[in-house]
Amino acid sequence: MSDAPVLFHTLPAANGMQLGVATLNSEKTLNALSKEMVQLLGKQLQAWDEDSSIAMVVLQAAGEKAFCAGGDLQNLYASMREHHASDKKDDLLGNAYALDFFEQEYRLDYQIHTYRKPILCWGHGIVMGGGIGLMAGASHRVVTEKSRLAMPEIAIGLFPDVGGTWFLNRMPGKLGLFLALTGASINASDALFVKLADVALPHASKTDVLTTLQAAAWSNQTYQNHQRLSQILHEFSAQSSDTAGPLRSNFDLINRLCSPADLPAIVAQLLAVDAAQQEEHPWLQKAVSSLQKGSPTSAWLAHALQERGKHLSLAEIFRMELVAALACAKGHDFAEGIRALIVDKDQKPQWLPVSLSELQPQDGERYFTHLWAAEQHPLRDLGASENMQKAAA
């Protein structure tokens, strides 16, 4: 097998059509999303979009452990260390690598969200951070008995980016905020409940699904191909069980705990969850522990982004998240979180500030500053066609 970070091939299908197959191919890193992977995926998706013989795209990953465990943090960490030691350390735009990485990653995520043709994402195994960024926008998202999804950025001093402000805000009740604050992982059943997935299938059925897709009567009408794919997946999922996961089982409790208007009160209520409840639900205990150990700044930022992003378009949210990501790269906690978790692996991050009470209002403004005029923003073209349609209406 090629050692290319993403593999591409096509499968012949009925009516002379083809299926485009993209495979994340970095099994040793749990298919962590590198800048090269982002570039390769974006280019090939564009080519397949323009190829009239491609009926749909399958996005999958090598190995059995993970679809994608997140972004490639090693290179980001190196760029932050270099930036922090340079004479541009006070410049939010001083880290050229971080700007390039986040811009291209968010651009790819938006491309998937707005792709004309059906994209079937097979989210088997670990799907975290940047992996959810790839999966969230796909038109047809499959999870399996081994799927574990999470946005665990609070553990590394970042925030749920890759459009997290968009899809977390659209989950039932306060579940999106809870997942952002705790980084809790969810299973296939809960992924369906919070609308991060569309269908739960046994991983063993994948070969049969692909065989059926090849035999399907695809057309040159995109909307018909979307319907065809939905029908096929529905037929395969007819026998799936619908046992509630821990997130759904604790829905009322989580809603109550996350109901206060201000973040300190929410955090206080989560950390004060009854010991008996935590013992009865180990998943909840782990979630509360992650919040307690996580970056206070990340918690504040995740909450602030969801508040500010409630009525923004997807394109506006990606533009807002890009500024916040660059501010994180310039700050202390993001590099410190990566150091503690991945580099030194001492699991003892030294957050600054150490608590929400020490975070001053002015400290948060840098995450929402206007780095560019609207016409100069690196992601200014996202949603351009939507804006033109609105103007013409």
Cut 0.75: pTM above it? yes
How would you write the pLDDT of the chain (393 residues) with one tens digit per residue?
Answer: 589 999 999 999 999 999 999 999 999 999 999 999 999 999 999 999 999 999 999 999 999 999 999 999 999 999 999 999 999 999 999 999 999 999 999 999 999 999 999 999 999 999 999 999 999 999 999 999 999 999 999 999 999 999 999 999 999 999 999 999 999 999 999 999 999 999 999 999 999 999 999 999 999 999 999 999 999 999 999 766 678 899 999 999 999 999 999 999 999 999 998 766 767 778 989 999 999 999 999 999 999 999 999 999 999 999 999 999 999 999 999 999 999 999 999 999 999 999 999 998 788 989 999 999 999 999 999 998 555 443 433
- In the 3-class helix/strand/coil scheme, how is the chain assigned residue by residue? CCCCCEEEEEEECHHHCEEEEEEECCHHHCCCECHHHHHHHHHHHHHHHHCCCEEEEEEEECCCCEEECCECHHHHHHHHHHHHCCCCCCCCCCCHHHHHHHHHHHHHHHHHHCCCCCEEEEECCEEECHHHHHHHCCCEEEECCCCEEECCHHHCCCCCCCCHHHHHHCCCCCHHHHHHHHCCCECHHHHHHCCCCCEECCHHHHHHHHHHHHHCCCCCCHHHHHHHHHHHHHHHCCCCCCCCCHHHHCHHHHHHHCCCCCHHHHHHHHHCCCHHHHHHCHHHHHHHHHHHHCCHHHHHHHHHHHHHCCCCCHHHHHHHHHHHHHHHHHCCHHHHHHHHHHHCCCCCCCCCCCCHHHCCHHHHHHHHCCCCCHHHCCCCCCCHHHHHHHHHC
Specify whether the CB–CB gap between 224 and 169 falls below 8 A: no
pLDDT value of residue 57: 98
Q: How many CB atoms lie within 10 A of CB 252?
A: 9
pLDDT value of residue 278: 66
Pairwise CA distance, residues 321 & 317, whole Å: 6
pLDDT value of residue 393: 34
Q: How many CB atoms lie within 10 A of CB 79?
A: 19
The number of residues making up the chain comes to: 393
Burial class (CB in 10 A: 0-12, 13-18, 19+), 145: middle
CATH topology of domain 6-392: 2-enoyl-CoA Hydratase; Chain A, domain 1 (3.90.226)
Residues serving a catalytic function are: 71, 130, 153, 161
Pairwise CA distance, residues 55 & 20, whole Å: 8
Hey, where are the domains in the chain?
A: 6-392
CA 152, 155, 159, 162 dihedral sign is: negative
Pairwise CA distance, residues 337 & 348, whole Å: 9
Q: How many CB atoms lie within 10 A of CB 147?
A: 28
pLDDT value of residue 11: 98
Q: How many CB atoms lie within 10 A of CB 54?
A: 19
pLDDT value of residue 388: 40
Pairwise CA distance, residues 158 & 31, whole Å: 20
Specify whether the CB–CB gap between 378 and 384 falls below 8 A: no
**Sheet with 6-12, edge to edge strand ranges:** 6-12, 18-24, 54-61, 119-123, 140-143, 199-200
Residues facing residue 142 across a β-bridge:
122, 199
pLDDT value of residue 1: 57
